[in-house]
Structure 1
Amino acid sequence: MRQQLTLLLSTFLILFSAGVHAQKEVNFADPKISLITVGPGKNLYDKFGHTGIRLQDGDLDIVFNYGSYDFDTPNFYLKFAQGQMMYKVTTNYFESFLNFYKGENRWVKEQVLLLSPEEKSKMMDFLRENIKPENSRYRYDFFYDNCATKPRDVIFKGRESLVTIDESYASDGLTFRQLIQQNVHWNTWGSMGMDLGIGAVTDRVATAWEYQFLPEYVSQAVAGAQMTVDGREVPLAGASRMLFENEPVEDGANFLLSPLLLFILIGGLIIWVTWKDTSNGRRSRWLDISIMGLTGIVGVILMLLWFATEHSTTANNYNLLWASPLSLIALWPLTKMQPPRWCRRYIAFLLLMGVLMIIHWLTGVQEFALSLIPLFLALGYRYLYLFLVLPK
């Protein structure tokens, strides 16, 4: 998946343009074309699976892979952070492709497309053009342009009038966020990071077409699709065939290393210090400075993800209701024993934002990370204490 095979690509282009390979005529009028779906892996970026298009014709057996990127791209990490990362389509020998995922213990299945010779020819013409260097790159988008939606478009786009998709796989009406969480345990750092970074745009119910940003739903759409041929309905693809069955591995979260445990400890510390402050009639300024500094920094990061990047998933992020960049302004005043009166009004503002966050959560505007609940409760307790003791 990750390695571009330059020699194969050159040979493939020659085959397309000249129609010969080793003095043997190659007939591209009736190749075998399949949808390949790969199961989830253990790493966060592998949790959602992968999709490819397999081409078999004689000795030629390759996979078109739309999930490649180049680490040598200038300003790679900056472009990735800004949502300007360019992905590209590459080709891999199928044997190498399959062996790679076997090594990662990820299942692989195949669905042979039952296209007419004319439809296969059209698809091959498109792939021939798409693989050219000037056409192979595309701007990656997690929901709308990724390694699953690109092969999906190759199969379905331009055939809408001939193909009917059974959309029953989307009958549960899940949001984008819920679809993501199907593949990632909620009490993991990856899940918490995504819930923190993605905004309310992901809490909209996805359409059946939009479900297909995940490879498994592309597979289900292809499995249930029907083509109109000579006035009758025929399947778009044959039955799924497992090429490799993986060994099941339990994918549970380690509670001792989980974000929930950490935030239970942090929340417990905040509540304990606040209770001690109440009992002793004092204010632990180091705690207030820590809270304002850390939540303020998180807020700045979320603001940058919303307004300074092109990621479609990070807009309208209401985590800013509890992680306000404005808290950085209150840092210095709260170091004083008697901070200015506006600090109390700002604490009242933070309490109001907390109420609004709860309303957003209960009404389904945006879901928040469950592992952060202990922190939210502790912040509410601390802010209420500060509102009562700061100068009026």
Structure 2
Amino acid sequence: MYKKLLFLIALLLTTHHVKGQQRTLSSEAEISVLTVGPGISLNDAFGHSAFRIRDYVKGIDFVFNYGVYDFKTPNFYLKFAQGKLNYLIGFDYYEDFYESYVSQNRTIKEQILHLSQIEKQQLFDYLINNYKPENRAYLYDFFYDNCATKMRDVLQKVTNNNIKFNTPEHFKAKTFRTLIHDNLNLNSWGAVGIDMALGSVIDRQATPYQHMFLPENIYLFFKEATFKTKPNQTLVKQSKVLFQKMEQDQKTNFFTSPLFIFGLIGFFILFLTYKDYKNKKHTIWLDALLFSTTGLIGVFILLLWFATDHTGTHQNYNLLWAFALNLFVVPQILKEQASKWFPKYIKLLIILLCLLTLHWIIGVQIFAVTLIPFLVALLVRYVFLVNCYRV
């Protein structure tokens, strides 16, 4: 609280005239971009980016980042789900910022920027002005407007779009989903959730410029960047590692992993299907559960697609297995005698699963690999039900 109060005083001194003159950075000031490596949680899996303003002559060592959100926001979770949650620019003293990420054992890299004195001052003034309460908020977008892209966009603004982002050596273009997968363990619940919630729009190849939605790619592209007016001058004057994380064994429990759980569910479905086949009956509660669950997931996917502002949830072909109409045909399963059209409906579900496989093979959309045991069991169950209701 004491340090925050000191900053507010510094903010007042910076944004108002003191004795007729506005506070300026000294010629010794340096501005750098900090790149923080990934953390353990899903929220930290993609790293973080921030600006550091250092001027020892003026007693300044500030960090500004664009990754803050306020849990006190009215309807916080609803706005988050709808993609309408505003993020904020945040402020820290460098010492606090550094100690926070060191305590999390996350690598911190610094790139000191080759900016003119005028550009340094303009960037500092921009950040100070952006930190004012009326300017702090911005509408966050994971792919196009986040803590990393803000580093690029703010720099372009204060340099009058003078930065040229050259393609790094050994660069390989990837899809948005592949870029996400590169930072995740595919056999994790976070990866499953992302692959189920995000649609085929993220399976298109990202342009080199769009790769910079990830902090690590900001680091790589900044390293190769030059100025349009001075092609021989690099954007980054000096790079250094401020803290290197200590390697630690990450303990994972396979028995709580998605692959094991979905494998267990798939085996259970196949086992009951085999028993039903041998006994010439079908387990009603299992079918009611399967249709209800896949239907509910389908409704959720439809809401993410049509009822939110998220850009990555559109054209989600997980609907081919999580078919929303399944929720409304559960009464057919509970009836003693299903309607004549119901076997045809189940055939439609089989066709949809075949279409899902085709979409996966040709790359229209990549699905969660850990779902395979469940999807195979679902297909077998549908084939069994077609024959069961045909009798």
Shift of 1:20: 5.9
Aligned to 1:105: 105
The unaligned stretches of length 5 or more in structure 1 are none
Q: Which residue identity is paired with 2:220?
A: Q
Q: Hey, what's the Cα distance between the residues in 2 that align with 1:326 and 1:228?
A: 55
Give the TM-score normalised by structure 1.
0.93
Shift of 1:199: 0.6
Q: Hey, what's the Cα distance between the residues in 1 that align with 2:269 and 2:186?
A: 24
1:223-266 Cα distance to aligned partner (Å, 9 max, x none): 1111245x551111123211111101344743111011011111
Aligned to 2:96: 96
Q: Hey, what's the Cα distance between the residues in 1 that align with 2:388 and 2:169?
A: 55
Q: Which residue identity is paired with 2:144?
A: Y
Q: Hey, what's the Cα distance between the residues in 2 that align with 1:246 and 1:91?
A: 23
Equivalent residue of 1:240, what SS?
A: strand
Q: Which residue identity is paired with 1:350?
A: L
Q: Hey, what's the Cα distance between the residues in 2 that align with 1:256 and 1:350?
A: 30
Equivalent residue of 1:34, what SS?
A: strand
Aligned to 1:66: 66
CA contact (8 A) 2:25 2:121 kept: no
Aligned to 1:175: 175
Alignment CA distance shift 1:24-1:154 (3 Å) = closer
CA contact (8 A) 1:38 1:51 kept: yes
1:198-232 Cα distance to aligned partner (Å, 9 max, x none): 11111011111111111000011111111245x55
> How many residues in Structure 1 have an aligned counterpart in Structure 2?
388
Q: Hey, what's the Cα distance between the residues in 2 that align with 1:256 and 1:315?
A: 32
Q: Hey, what's the Cα distance between the residues in 1 that align with 2:318 and 2:6?
A: 47
Q: Hey, what's the Cα distance between the residues in 2 that align with 1:158 and 1:16?
A: 18
For residues 290-301 of structure 1, the aligned pairs below 5 Å read 290-301=289-300
1:11 paired to 2:9: yes
Question: Percent of aligned pairs with the same residue?
Answer: 42
1:42-74 Cα distance to aligned partner (Å, 9 max, x none): 111001000000001121100001101111111
Equivalent residue of 1:196, what SS?
A: helix
For residues 272-287 of structure 1, the aligned pairs below 5 Å read 272-287=271-286
Alignment CA distance shift 1:103-1:70 (3 Å) = same
Aligned to 1:245: 244
1:25-44 Cα distance to aligned partner (Å, 9 max, x none): 75356621000010000111
1:380 paired to 2:362: no
Aligned to 1:51: 49
1:120 paired to 2:117: no
CA contact (8 A) 1:169 1:217 kept: no
Q: Hey, what's the Cα distance between the residues in 1 that align with 2:197 and 2:16?
A: 49
Alignment CA distance shift 1:55-1:161 (3 Å) = closer
The unaligned stretches of length 5 or more in structure 2 are none
Give the TM-score normalised by structure 2.
0.94
Shift of 1:190: 0.6
Q: Hey, what's the Cα distance between the residues in 2 that align with 1:4 and 1:152?
A: 32
Equivalent residue of 2:180, what SS?
A: helix
Aligned to 1:42: 40
Q: Which residue identity is paired with 2:94?
A: F
For residues 139-154 of structure 1, the aligned pairs below 5 Å read 139-154=139-154
Alignment CA distance shift 1:113-1:19 (3 Å) = farther
Q: Hey, what's the Cα distance between the residues in 2 that align with 1:390 and 1:221?
A: 59
Alignment CA distance shift 1:331-1:149 (3 Å) = same
Higher mean C-alpha deviation, range 152-161 or range 141-150: 152-161
Q: Which residue identity is paired with 1:81?
A: A
Q: Hey, what's the Cα distance between the residues in 2 that align with 1:185 and 1:252?
A: 13
CA contact (8 A) 2:297 2:322 kept: yes
CA contact (8 A) 1:4 1:91 kept: no
Q: Hey, what's the Cα distance between the residues in 1 that align with 2:261 and 2:194?
A: 17
CA contact (8 A) 2:30 2:55 kept: yes
Equivalent residue of 1:233, what SS?
A: coil
CA contact (8 A) 1:8 1:91 kept: no
Q: Which residue identity is paired with 1:40?
A: P
Shift of 1:171: 2.9
CA contact (8 A) 1:181 1:191 kept: yes
For residues 1-392 of structure 1, the aligned pairs below 5 Å read 6-18=4-16, 27-28=25-26, 31-58=29-56, 59-157=59-157, 159=159, 162-168=162-168, 171-228=171-228, 233-251=232-250, 253-391=252-390
Alignment CA distance shift 1:169-1:50 (3 Å) = farther
1:5-35 Cα distance to aligned partner (Å, 9 max, x none): 74244223223224669x9975356621000
Alignment CA distance shift 1:285-1:73 (3 Å) = same
Q: Which residue identity is paired with 1:215?
A: P
Q: Hey, what's the Cα distance between the residues in 2 that align with 1:377 and 1:232?
A: 56
Q: Which residue identity is paired with 1:97?
A: F
Q: Which residue identity is paired with 1:123?
A: L
Q: Which residue identity is paired with 2:360?
A: W
Alignment CA distance shift 1:160-1:131 (3 Å) = same
Shift of 1:143: 0.6
Alignment CA distance shift 1:55-1:325 (3 Å) = same
CA contact (8 A) 2:24 2:121 kept: no
Equivalent residue of 1:61, what SS?
A: strand
Q: Which residue identity is paired with 1:234?
A: Q
Higher mean C-alpha deviation, range 142-151 or range 231-240: 231-240
Higher mean C-alpha deviation, range 252-261 or range 210-219: 252-261
CA contact (8 A) 2:14 2:23 kept: no
Higher mean C-alpha deviation, range 115-124 or range 289-298: 115-124
